[in-house]
Structure 1
């Protein structure tokens, strides 16, 4: 790995028209946008169906709930809620268990479960108390199930569970000798963590990660592994992200999950890595040290859309670190896969692929050359003419980074591929940031043209004028954003003063 001194030297050498910190901020903004648009596509809370009666291994007895039928889950049983609660104030373990099951059945519905009524009835403290009841494993199981399903509700409901003292008890049950109990405890902790960063951190502060990793290490069943991988990804999610020292220890386990034969497990692992890779370069280093780069690059072409999406996101975040990280992405074959992704009909995939490219072209000239050598630029120029604005915006970042960081010959190649007309179109983009990024690219291209002038003619300036760019720049001199109007005026005065003078005389 290159030294920090080398990296800082490269950053200081950036051309004045583009700030590396601005490019990095752009990546963060993109990440927020992706998170918002994709949140509904990944289940962060899960309601558990069933009762301890389904697990005779916990207790030999099978429970028959005398007043329960599928049609009675609503008003009839809800009207008996207070009696169920009162009946649990007893030392009779079976009576406690049966009524805990009845309350669980009230929650076992897809249509508006009565979580609020159950919380207000005082169920949460009782269930938290039952978690300690080692003499009745089936009661522990049912209590964890009820609490986990309550946590599928609102922040207020999760807060009630947290204030009951249930979190450390659930963490203890992650180490239970009974696998069904471990599953319910893990599910409940995952639902609590999904409510937001403060609850996630509360769970992690109680050493839930350590318990979870141990449970995953001890040869769990397929079901437990699925639940555990989902919980693990929830422990890594949220903004602000978890403190790195709380999640760093999970990286080797997540890396191992990438080779699992269960696509659901792989999808959760990819999601977790995408979140960890956003935290900082130290965790990116940890991820790369676990030799996952090649697998992530391969998954960019996965037929499983969830696996594909989050592997692309992780690869993009890795490439957005420093030059060494971007080089790992290139060395593991990302560029041919990205070129293939550009031909996929789904807009979200093409947009994400271009975002990854923008992080690579923000690197050193050798990395820009790798993109050029792969034949990606002509494809991007073609896409600029047929794509929606969201995709064109990401392509603009790719081209701007390449123009601002590339060598004279690399900029010449961009021009030969038709970049100038494509950029001229983006001078009228509805996004001021994109307009400014476009102006930065145009400025650098014109500077190269100035250095390559023949017979006092800047051929790149002529091409820009012929593509309608000059008229658009003149209009941008009146833009409400000062940085845009100033940069547009600078281009016009520096490269087109004679043309403007002629027009004025006419």
Structure 2
């Protein structure tokens, strides 16, 4: 009798064990999902403060994060500023950055640096000065600690002439680093505190700095010293006046006279605009004349960078009251500026010269008339202006229109000079089309011609298409320009009333109608700007109410054109 097998086979047993394993896996997955959902539920139930542990900024407040962003932005601005200044001064960054590669790393913090600065060992003092330079450049300092612990006073002590040249250079770098880096990083109150602290020290120590500005044979030391005084003077009128009283102007003039390289000339010349900040120049106009005398020689240079830097300085000297313009004109430098405007090939030099001429003609009628006759008209500068309006770039065209607006605002004689040379067609062309910045400046020039010019001159301006161009500006979104265009149209129509006495009709009304000006004037009477509304309403009531009453149907036809 054979062996009796069970009722189930091997495959049945395997199938049963496999089913058990699948069931176990499903139970494990369910437990895992339940655990995950429970954890997510717990996280959802947590508050905002508890969820912060899941992020990298754990425990950081808004002030701390803001401070970190400010530090990062400061470092980026600092690097960009150094790169920009180096390009302007033609300094290779690789040389400037590699100068401190062999310097000792920072091994002192605040108190240790101060303690080592007061050491009697020159090597320790030198190492502390190098550390202070890097410490200041980090932008993490306390100005109150500087003043209390005497750090700034001690660093100024190392700038004296009896100290080694390396020590004086390192001390000057420390001051320069504090002014250029930390000053930009502090807020307004801290900045004023920092400036006042340095000014207190410079009030009794600036004579030392001016001495080695004037006498030092080390180029880098002179360069850093000029930078310190320029930065202080650039902070405001009080700081600037203090630098002038301590002799910054004569020291600068002497340094310009003895400058040995174009780089040094550019660097020292850049100090003059800083001494003429806040829209004013030196109170002592005799000293200002001595600066202009040196500038006359610099304008004979063949170096374009020196010419540009000098012209920018002359531009700053001509800012402010009319007395400043008188000194600039009496120095005889205007003829040299006009010569550069006419003959130089560099566009940037021409632009800088154009800025000087445009700034000079903004004076009173007496100054403007004398300057135009002697320096602009007689030298043929208006012929060059014509070329600028036709072929110049955006900056030159804008500056040229601004200069012409000042010329045309002076007298009928100057308006006639502009008309005789043939500048008006190009001026109206720039008013009609092109960049809006140029059109705005051209609008000022054309409106001034319509206001100042006599009836014949106004007729010439209108025949060139000025009314049509002004009517096009009535639809722009800048209220000031709309009001200016309305003023020009109103003055043109007023001049046309003089012809109405002899001809019986105002001939300029037709130009406004043909340019669809009536429709635009009607629309401007709905303007929320009160000045625009009143002026548009006054023009309609004064010059077009009679025509509307006599023939209302023709008026409607005009408005529907």
Quickly name the TM-score band, shorter chain normalised. 0.7 to 0.9
2:247 to 183, 190, 207: 207
1:310 to 345, 349, 352: 352
Please list the CA deviations of residues 153-198 of structure 1 after superposition, one character each: whole Å capped at 9, or x if unmatched. 2263545433333534322322224243333322221222233433
Q: Normalization by structure 2: what TM-score?
A: 0.71
- Cα displacement (A) at 1:362: 0.7
Q: Which residue of 2 aligns with 1:382?
A: 429
SS in 1 for 2:214: coil
Instruction: Say yes or no: does 1:289 pair with 2:289.
Output: no
Q: Which residue of 2 aligns with 1:434?
A: 481
State how far apart, in whole Å, the 1-side matches of 2:86 and 2:486 are: 41
Instruction: Say yes or no: does 1:250 pair with 2:296.
Output: no
Q: Which residue of 2 aligns with 1:396?
A: 443
Q: Which residue of 2 aligns with 1:124?
A: 152
State how far apart, in whole Å, the 2-side matches of 1:349 and 1:42 are: 23
Bigger Cα displacement from structure 2, 337-346 vs 208-217: 337-346
State how far apart, in whole Å, the 2-side matches of 1:148 and 1:169 are: 16
Structure 1 residues 292 and 120, CA, compared in 2 at 3 Å: closer, same or farther?
A: same
Aligned positions of 1:420-459 closer than 5 A: 420-453=467-500, 456-459=504-507
- Cα displacement (A) at 1:216: 1.9
1:150 to 178, 183, 192: 178
State how far apart, in whole Å, the 2-side matches of 1:411 and 1:78 are: 77
Instruction: Say yes or no: does 1:96 pair with 2:143.
Output: no
Q: Which residue of 2 aligns with 1:172?
A: 211
State how far apart, in whole Å, the 2-side matches of 1:116 and 1:370 are: 61
Q: Is the 1:144–1:170 Cα contact (8 Å) retained in structure 2?
A: no
Rg larger in 1 or in 2? 2
For structure 1, list consecutive stretches of 5 or more residues without a partner in the other structure. 1-38, 55-63, 108-112
Instruction: Say yes or no: does 1:163 pair with 2:192.
Output: no
Q: Which residue of 2 aligns with 1:23?
A: none
Q: Normalization by structure 1: what TM-score?
A: 0.78
- Cα displacement (A) at 1:397: 0.7
- Cα displacement (A) at 1:208: 0.7
Aligned positions of 1:10-409 closer than 5 A: 69=101, 77=106, 83-104=112-133, 113-117=137-141, 122=146, 123-153=151-181, 154=183, 156=191, 157-165=194-202, 166-180=205-219, 181-239=221-279, 242-243=282-283, 245=285, 247-300=288-341, 302=344, 304=346, 306-321=348-363, 322=365, 323-327=369-373, 328-344=375-391, 346-409=393-456
State how far apart, in whole Å, the 2-side matches of 1:298 and 1:349 are: 17
SS in 1 for 2:270: helix
Structure 1 residues 262 and 197, CA, compared in 2 at 3 Å: closer, same or farther?
A: farther
- Cα displacement (A) at 1:413: 0.8
Q: Is the 1:236–1:247 Cα contact (8 Å) retained in structure 2?
A: no
Q: Is the 2:280–2:319 Cα contact (8 Å) retained in structure 1?
A: no
Q: Is the 1:336–1:374 Cα contact (8 Å) retained in structure 2?
A: yes
SS in 2 for 1:169: helix
Structure 1 residues 265 and 455, CA, compared in 2 at 3 Å: closer, same or farther?
A: closer
Bigger Cα displacement from structure 2, 361-370 vs 200-209: 200-209
State how far apart, in whole Å, the 2-side matches of 1:187 and 1:241 are: 19
For structure 2, list consecutive stretches of 5 or more residues without a partner in the other structure. 1-80, 185-190, 557-561
2:510 to 455, 462, 470: 462
SS in 2 for 1:228: helix
Normalized per residue, the structure richer in helix is 2
SS in 2 for 1:496: helix
Q: Which residue of 1 aligns with 2:48?
A: none
Count, aligned residues? 447
State how far apart, in whole Å, the 1-side matches of 2:458 and 2:83 are: 40
SS in 2 for 1:164: helix
- Cα displacement (A) at 1:296: 1.8
Root-mean-square deviation over aligned CA pairs: 3.5
